[in-house]
Chains A and B, each alone.
Chain A
Amino acid sequence: MVKKIFERFYIGIILLFLYAPILILIMLSFNKSKSRARWGGFTFHWYKELFQNEDIMNALYTTLIIAFLSALIATIIGTAAAIAMNSMKRTPRTILMAITNIPMLNADIVTGISLMLIFVALRFTLGFTSVLIAHITFNIPYVILSVMPKLKQLNPHTFEAALDLGASPVYAFFKVILPDIFSGVISGFFLAFTMSLDDFVITHFTKGPEINTLSTKIYTEVRKGIKPEMYALSTLLFVTVLLLLIIINRKGAEKKVPLKQN
């Protein structure tokens, strides 16, 4: 019993450690004073300002577009690659898996620099497209690693049965395989989206001067002080995702109930 209380306490402490900064940022978004260091009273002012601030809205737009497109393209390329790798012999599969691991294990700063060098060598102007390509590159591994376990769980005979019954391989893929691995594909997509959203270092090196994502915009403000609208925007993003997760969890819980009764 004492042990259990101690375990709960430990988890609580870790969560406090991880969430204290987030709570502070949420508080700062309601802070009347422009300075980070002083509490000037409660206000919704920054939330109203936020939607008038074109710079921030532009950065948000760029961030979301890049996150969405990079996650989508990475999901397509990554899922295709995972299916192909799954049917490969051991050696080529191991080699491809090792390559997949490079961007995950490599330092962001090295990945960012190397991509910048290749873009410059190809005389490719740094901007939206270069950032998008960079994000796709570091997102593909996350998709592959999400889809792979689902593929390994697949029952190989269902696909063969579909083919025996006259389905074309493509038709069988969409009707038999995709539904089974779909949860992996979706979680890969959301993981990739989140990674892209939170990335700073690789974007920092591959973006040109004209374009800013939220991360790079925040970085330029580190020295002179963050605009409070930024706290408001982050709070909105965070709360939206929190609510979505709660809803998904609720739905998952509802689904599980009848299963238990069986």
Chain B
Amino acid sequence: MKVPLNVKNKMFQKPAKDSDKEFKIGRVNQVKLLSFPYIIWMVGFIIIPLLMILYYGLTDRDNNLTFKNIALISDPINRKALLLALELSLISTIICLLLAYPLAMVLRKNHKTSNSFIVLIIILPMWMNFLLRTIAWQNILEKTGIINSILQFFHLPTLNIINTSAAIILGMVYNFLPFMVLPIYNVLVKVDKDVINAARDLGANGRQTFLKIILPLSIPGVVSGITMVFVPSLTTFVISTILGGSKIVLIGNVIEQQFRLGNWNTGSGLSLVLMVFILFSMAILSKYDKESEGSNLW
């Protein structure tokens, strides 16, 4: 019932240049006061805590300024863990993108049923604990697991991927695929049908329409999907613990271990290195995400 009304409004309003004036709750200026609890909360529990990491990362136990914690990243073990984490998260991001894009395209076509599908792939699985879901992959991948039982039944050679990098990549793709599907789907449904029809009218074939119209318009969603998959994959320590056995160590495992052992300064220093990568991907994201102000995520 609300939808037609909005469409009507949009039709009559000029595309607002001054989007500041869109809507204000009355002439009441005090409405801005409503953001105060939020601002205080975010400063207290987001900004100051991040500065704490900076402080711990740049000091030693006696609170003296030092770069030793950050330099520890060049330690062979830590460097290997970082490089491996980068490699695995890049691979799983690419796989997620290759799986998610066609899926989002299909969903876009029948987007009346897609909303419930989105719930089905994102919200519902979360009610089965994420650790348990990852543990269930052990059952599937193990030497005597489900896949191998099926392969043996057909007398095919068995797979041995549990406790390898491949299992970790699979775990990453499994856990983070929905976060790639959602942003891509969100931009694809917003692509104006008239633009696509215009391209077809002007003689473009399906492939050209995709390459010249749909793909460029969906880039913001792709970029946001890449960040949403890359960052958690790069920093995970749970998936590698469960599916990688004890031999494979990612940078997330190293940091978690440092904190468990009480070496907060070292852990913070390594987190700072990690944050460089996170900030880098955030910067790329914000470049593409200016217009939507991030509000199209859900």
Do A114 and B49 have beta carbons less than 8 Å apart?
Answer: yes
Q: Which residues of B contact A134 (CB under 8 A)?
A: 45
Within 8 A of B (CB), among A202-242: 205, 214-215, 218-219, 222, 226, 230-231, 234-235, 237-238, 240-242
Do A118 and B49 have beta carbons less than 8 Å apart?
Answer: yes
A38 to chain B, nearest CB (A): 9
Do B282 and A77 have beta carbons less than 8 Å apart?
Answer: no
Contact of A249 among B47, B116, B174 (CB under 8 A): B116
Apart from A22-B128, A222-B135, A259-B1, what are 11 other A-B pairs with CB-CB below 8 Å? A22-B136, A86-B23, A86-B24, A101-B282, A111-B46, A113-B255, A115-B45, A121-B52, A145-B298, A151-B23, A163-B26
Contact of B259 among A194, A205, A219, A241 (CB under 8 A): A205
Chain A 1-36 per-residue mask, 1 if CB under 8 angstroms from chain B, else 0:
000000100110011011111101100100000001
Contact of A107 among B6, B35, B131, B235 (CB under 8 A): B235
Query: In the complex, which residue of chain B has the Cβ closest to the Cβ of A89?
Result: B20
Q: List 18 A-B contacts (CB under 8 A).
A: A7-B109, A14-B103, A24-B139, A25-B128, A37-B142, A86-B22, A96-B39, A105-B227, A109-B236, A109-B256, A115-B45, A142-B298, A145-B297, A180-B2, A195-B126, A198-B126, A200-B129, A234-B127
Interface footprint category on B: 35 or more
B113 to chain A, nearest CB (A): 10
Q: State in angstroms the CA–CA spacing of A48 and B131 once bound together.
A: 23
Q: Which residues of A contact B125 (CB under 8 A)?
A: 18-19, 22
Q: Which residues of B contact A153 (CB under 8 A)?
A: 2, 6
> Which 4 A-B residue pairs are closest in the complex by CB-CB distance?
A114-B49, A81-B38, A21-B136, A84-B35
Chain A 78-93 per-residue mask, 1 if CB under 8 angstroms from chain B, else 0:
1011011111111001
Q: Which residues of B contact A234 (CB under 8 A)?
A: 127-129, 132
